[in-house]
Structure 1
């Protein structure tokens, strides 16, 4: 199916989901790490509109925006481990909640961990309300897709992958088994998926990265 390259950064939840999808499908790829403070000419050439990662380059054709990339991967390599729902309604619902995750959950999640004082308390109220909605999607399900990992699991996988390291770095906890039993059970299952275990970066590396991120945020104040 040709050469595949991924422009990404290890700390980006948007990059992580693409790595998982490629590994989930068993697709060989080359990863190019970007310094977002000094973006490469290649990244700017492949994504001249938003100038952001991730960018998937397949046979020198760039595909941008992580949720779009997820769909492209599944539709291009459709014979191997398909993860998009086949039913039109289920597919539309998965797209809706993936977008909700990107536009609502991610900002409130990182806001809670990285802000301080009143701003942090306001972010906590918002993220708890958002997580309750996500919790309900998992009612009597192992994964968002049912019994197997699917599109929405990959889209929301950052929540399983990043929550633990951020809790360690900040000493703040959101996902407890009393308040979010479904999400906690899902997090454990998601982190046991072989393609995820082999993924990058590991939890210890994320802890180091988030520690540096938080220290940098403090120094900017």
Structure 2
């Protein structure tokens, strides 16, 4: 992988937003130092380089921080490894459409599946699943719009919108293992389900996407933390 000066990534292995940035760096073939963060005990580096939100990911390039995953991905694409293929579409309209749907993923899709995770009853989880299904159907429509019938959102190969959506897939696997729910259902959204399978088998999917068991372990840790906090009140 190519060197691009002093490049560090502050992250957390179970964060889909961190995974998104790692996917972008992988696609560009850029080497970097990864520094795992404990969000229960935030360290000096994180507080120094992201004093506003105090969260990951943070990319530090030659001492200068860039925060928020979509902004970092665009920075990686524009500022690093210029000889590598672009992550964002070259056409201005396609690039704008990709940014629109990436924002939709973070504004609608991520909160939807988080709602399933946090549901306290089966009834509430079923309601959240119904709400999430409507969001997923919009992503199926976005795939049809952006891919032009090809394998990925970006066409023949993985690109910006693919990693914007795909970074969430390991958590969907975790929810299937924990609750028996299928968020991207082949019966309801077959094109998106087929895309998800292809993405997991792509080079970036195999190399960067964590195993769902890692997310399951973290979810159990959070559950235990919340239970202990509730018991201490």
**Considering the TM-score relative to the shorter chain, is it more than 0.5?**
yes
- For the residue of structure 2 that corresponds to 1:198, the secondary structure is helix
Please, which moves more after superposition, 106-115 or 116-125? 116-125
Which moves more between the two structures, 204-213 or 162-171? 204-213
Alignment match of 1:128 (pick from 123, 133, 138): 133
Residues matched between the structures, number: 221
**Stretches of structure 1 lacking an aligned partner (at least 5 in a row):** none
For residues 113 and 26 of structure 1, what CA distance do their matches in structure 2 show?
34
Structure 1 range deviating more: 140-149 or 59-68:
140-149
* Residue matched to 1:201: 210
Residues 154-203 of structure 1 show CA distances to partners (whole Å, capped at 9, x for unaligned) of: 11112333211221122222222111111111111111122331226333
CA distance, structure 2, for counterparts of residue 215 and residue 130 of structure 1: 30
| Alpha-carbon distance in 1 for matches of 2:224, 2:112 | 20
Distance 1:154 1:213 in 2: 26
Distance 1:161 1:141, change over 3 A: farther
User: 1:185-196 to 2 correspondence within 5 Å?
Assistant: 185-196=194-205
What 5-or-longer segments of structure 2 have no aligned partner? none
Tell me, yes or no, if the aligned pair for 1:160 and 1:190 is still in contact at 8 Å. Answer: no
- Does structure 1 retain, via aligned residues, the 8 Å contact 2:167–2:209? no
- Asked whether the 8 Å contact 1:114–1:214 carries over to 2, the reply is no
Q: CA RMSD in A?
A: 1.8
CA distance in 2, matches of 1:119, 1:169: 16
Check if 1:115 corresponds to 2:119: yes
The reply to whether residue 75 of structure 1 matches residue 82 of structure 2 is no
Distance 2:170 2:187 in 1: 20
SS of equivalent residue, structure 2 residue 59: strand
> d(CA) in 2 for partners of 1:65 and 1:174?
25
Deviation at 1:81, TM superposition (A): 2.6
Do structure 1's residue 58 and structure 2's residue 61 form an aligned pair? Answer: yes
* Per-residue deviation, residues 16-59 of structure 1 (Å, max 9, x unmatched): 10111111221111111111111111111111111111000011
Deviates more, 1:149-158 or 1:172-181: 172-181
CA pair 128-218 structure 1, distance change in 2 beyond 3 A? farther
Partner residue in 2 for 1:97: 101
Higher mean C-alpha displacement, 103-112 vs 191-200: 191-200
* Structure 2: distance between partners of 1:218 and 1:112: 18
1:12 aligns with 2:21: no
Distance (whole Å) between structure 1 residues aligned to residue 141 and residue 65 of structure 2: 36
Secondary structure, in 3 states, of the residue corresponding to 1:146?
A: coil
| Distance in 2 between residues matched to 1:143 and 1:104, nearest whole Å | 21
